[in-house]
């Protein structure tokens, strides 16, 4: 590839031809602020915050660095007085139509607009006040709300919904000053075929989008002496929660998270990884049964509720391919309110099951039909990683000073197979570990071909003399690509894992928000996934079928994987939905 020479703030560097000014500045060690830019999916140069001065031999002029390509011998100024003044004026204009209730905003202290205003010394937020539009908050969806009064029209949410997820239920409506982000025909988000993945929330730079917060309800339940409040935490949460307390991306916060949950007052602190192991026992059994008895193939995983809802809307004919297994969240709640309740002499009606999830779609999932094994909802409240962080801060708990503590038993015992559920490919690898053992008696541990953050991965394994073709997809646009190949006959697999979010649950819509200046240049999916794979490698038991707590729950309650009792408690059904 041909290289060219540019000079950034006097620093001369060589960059590949075609490099943008923004990228060149980053390579030279200078960070240019942005609001709308998302690498590869929202390169529109709309917000004008990334303005810089460039000189290509005809004098300096202002350009949008995110879309402007470098030319040979270009001079770039990223923070000249002219640049600073331009950015300040742009920020003041954005604020003129922005609902500035910053003190009560969920993003206060973690808002990209607020940070820029602080960095650039914006003192008069009313400088360009005038006519304005007002909007009602859309809270029609089960998992989130949209407040267009805080929207800055960066279109990140539109890009991620359309390009990354391949759904496109939101877009820019009207034109000019009347432009706003919404759904077709002004439908509420809950009326559309939104799948609740929350990726739009994850990339929103301000407080226009956020999950529905149920922390007050959970704290009220904890304060009720008549209730036994149990909490379970998903594998991906431990890989990200520490970020909310100023720790680097890729910090393992498991032990301190457990300690914090105890100090919040939960009666028992359990691990969703236990139910991930339980899921593997049922799913591996289901896969083997379908292969041996001519069942519907490929078998497709059902752990990701965003993916499941996507399948119901966009590939309804393939709902028969979905594993009938409940997700680990729901399996855990169902087991807690049946097996555990019976074991401990508790009335399921007095158990409040709270889950801490990296996923906003879990808020939708807890309200699905056929998710009430004990006659009451399997899970009562699904909180995001962000909600848990808010609870910890509100309670005055010093997260970083906490000791590392262990989960309670028996529903806190898990294996390495359970913990890697949080990364794309993890469910597939965990299932293969147990399926191969069941069919051959061998205990293979690592399946590196299904690891990594690629959107689509494929592999073929010879098991008991049979070639098993598997595929893994994360991000729903990738899922669509894969399933269209299956439908057309271009691809032939026996087992498919699909995660709704790119990179899997570690990059879920409920995880800590990371400003785009970092996201554009750091693979947060890889850093968080490494936490889980490192945990897996360090654990004494790495296969679901060897978990002693799993062996006990089958011996004492379910009998065997795929039993009638297991189907009553651990399995579910799906519906075919229309596209709106």
Mean pLDDT of 281-293: 94
Beta bridge partners of 290: none
* CATH 3.30.70.20 is held by the domain 95-211: yes
Lowest mean pLDDT across 52-61, 142-151, 351-360, 435-444: 435-444
Which residues does 396 contact at the CB level (< 8 Å), separation at least 6?
A: none
Helix (H, G, I), strand (E, B) or coil at 74: strand
Q: Out of 29-43, 68-82, 213-227, 429-443, which region has the weakest mean confidence (pLDDT)?
A: 429-443
**Is pLDDT above 90 for 466?**
no
CA–CA separation, 437 vs 416, rounded Å? Answer: 16
In the prediction, which pLDDT does 130 show?
87
Average pLDDT over residues 202-208: 98
User: What is the pLDDT, as a whole number, of residue 127?
Assistant: 87
Q: Write out the two tokens for 76.
A: 């770039």
215-570: CATH topology is: Rossmann fold (3.40.50)
pLDDT tens digits for 45-101?
999 999 999 999 999 999 999 999 999 999 999 999 999 999 999 999 999 999 999
Q: Stretch 463-492: mean pLDDT, rounded?
A: 95
Tell me the pTM: 0.96
pLDDT of 194 reads 98
Task: Specify the range with the lowest mean pLDDT, choosing from 275-279, 364-368, 431-435.
Answer: 431-435
Give the C-alpha distances (Å, rounded to integers) separating 338 from 27, 341, 375: 56, 5, 10
pLDDT at 465 over 90: no
The pLDDT assigned to 464 comes to 86
Each residue's pLDDT tens digit, 230-256: 999 999 999 999 999 999 999 999 999
User: What is the pLDDT averaged over residues 555-574?
Assistant: 97
pLDDT tops 80 at residue 485: yes
CATH of domain 3-79: 3.10.20.740
The token pair that represents 36 in the structure block: 């709308």
d(CA 288, CA 77): 62
Is residue 453 scored above 90 in pLDDT? yes
Task: State the pLDDT at residue 242.
Answer: 98
In 3D space, the residue among 54, 71, 59, 66 whose CA is nearest the CA of residue 16 turns out to be 71
Largest CA distance in the chain: 82
What mean pLDDT is reported for the chain?
96
pLDDT given for residue 445 in this prediction = 87
Dist CA 572 CA 554 (whole Å): 19
Terminal CA-CA length for the chain = 45
Per-residue pLDDT at 59:
96
Residue 12: its pLDDT value, please?
97
Question: Of 373, 330, 376, which Cα lies nearest the Cα of 349?
Answer: 376
% of residues, the chain, pLDDT over 90: 96
Domain spans of the chain? 3-79, 95-211, 215-570
Give me 286's structure tokens.
Answer: 């289901």
pLDDT of 329 > 90? The answer is yes
pLDDT of residue 123: 87
pLDDT surpassing 80 at residue 1: no
Q: Judge contact between 380 and 353, C-beta under 8 A.
A: yes
Across the range 302-330, mean pLDDT stands at 98
Query: What pLDDT was estimated at residue 553?
Result: 98
User: How far is Cα 379 from Cα 366, in angstroms, rounded to an integer?
Assistant: 6
Label each residue of 105-156 as H, E or C: CCCCCCCHHHHHHHHCCCCCCCCCCCCCCCCCCECCCCCEEECCCCCCCCCH
Cβ atoms of 399 and 242 closer than 8 Å: yes
pLDDT at res. 274: 98
Query: Which distant-in-sequence residues (6+ apart) come within 8 Å of 89 by Cβ?
Result: none
Nearest one of 358, 334, 361 to 348, comparing CA atoms: 334
DSSP E strands in 464-527: the ranges are 466-474, 495-499
Q: Can you tell me whether residue 492 is helix, strand or coil?
A: coil
pLDDT at 416: 97
């Amino acid at each position: 590839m041909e290289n060219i020479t540019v000079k950034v703030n006097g620093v001369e560097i060589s960059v590949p031809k075609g490099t943008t000014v923004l990228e060149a500045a980053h390579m030279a060690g200078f960070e240019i602020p942005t609001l709308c830019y998302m690498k590869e999916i929202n390169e529109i140069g709309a917000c004008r915050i990334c303005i810089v001065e460039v000189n290509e031999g005809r004098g300096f002029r202002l350009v949008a660095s995110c879309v402007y390509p470098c030319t040979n011998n270009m001079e770039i100024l990223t923070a000249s007085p002219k640049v600073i003044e331009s950015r300040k004026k742009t920020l003041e204009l954005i604020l003129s139509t922005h609902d500035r209730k910053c003190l009560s905003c969920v993003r206060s202290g973690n808002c990209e607009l607020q940070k820029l205003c602080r960095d650039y010394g914006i003192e008069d937020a009313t400088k360009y006040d005038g006519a304005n539009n007002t909007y009602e908050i859309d809270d029609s969806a089960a998992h989130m709300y949209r407040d267009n009064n805080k929207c800055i029209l960066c279109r990140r949410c539109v890009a991620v919904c359309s390009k990354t997820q391949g759904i496109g239920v939101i877009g820019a409506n009207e034109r000019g000053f009347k432009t706003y982000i919404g759904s077709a025909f002004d439908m509420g988000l809950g009326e559309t075929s939104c799948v609740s993945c929350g990726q739009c929330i994850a990339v929103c730079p301000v407080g226009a989008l956020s999950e529905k917060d149920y922390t007050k309800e959970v704290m009220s339940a904890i304060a009720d002496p008549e209730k036994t409040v149990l909490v379970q935490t998903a594998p991906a949460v431990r890989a990200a929660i520490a970020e909310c307390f100023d720790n680097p991306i890729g910090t393992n916060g498991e032990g301190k998270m457990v300690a914090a949950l105890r100090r919040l007052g939960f009666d028992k602190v359990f691990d969703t990884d236990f139910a991930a192991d339980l899921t593997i026992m049922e799913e591996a059994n289901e896969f083997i049964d379908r292969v041996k008895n001519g069942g519907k193939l490929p078998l497709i995983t059902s752990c990701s509720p965003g993916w499941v809802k996507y399948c119901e809307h966009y590939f309804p004919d393939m709902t028969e391919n979905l594993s009938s297994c409940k997700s680990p969240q729901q399996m855990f709640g169902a087991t807690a309110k049946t097996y555990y309740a019976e074991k401990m002499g508790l009335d399921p009606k007095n158990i409040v099951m709270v889950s801490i999830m990296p996923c906003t779609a879990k808020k939708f999932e807890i309200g699905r039909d056929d998710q009430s094994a004990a006659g009451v909802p399997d899970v009562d409240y699904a909180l995001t990683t962000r909600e848990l962080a808010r609870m910890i801060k509100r309670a005055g708990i010093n997260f970083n000073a906490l000791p590392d503590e262990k989960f309670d038993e028996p529903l806190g015992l898990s294996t390495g197979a359970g913990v890697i559920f949080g990364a794309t490919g993890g469910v597939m690898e965990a299932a293969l570990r147990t399926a191969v053992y069941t069919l051959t008696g061998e205990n293979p541990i690592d399946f590196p071909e299904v690891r990594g953050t690629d959107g689509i991965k494929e592999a073929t394994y010879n098991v008991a003399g049979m070639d098993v073709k598997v595929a893994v997809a994360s991000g729903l646009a990738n899922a669509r690509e894969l399933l269209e190949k299956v439908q057309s006959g271009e691809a032939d697999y026996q087992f498919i894992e699909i995660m709704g979010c790119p990179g899997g649950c570690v990059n879920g819509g409920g995880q800590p928000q990371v400003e785009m200046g970092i996201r554009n240049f750091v693979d947060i999916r890889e850093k968080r996934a490494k936490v889980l794979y490192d945990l897996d490698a360090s654990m004494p038991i790495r296969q679901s079928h060897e978990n002693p707590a799993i062996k006990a729950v089958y011996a004492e309650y379910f009998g065997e994987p795929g039993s009638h009792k297991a189907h009553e408690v651990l399995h579910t059904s799906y519906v075919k939905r229309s596209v709106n």
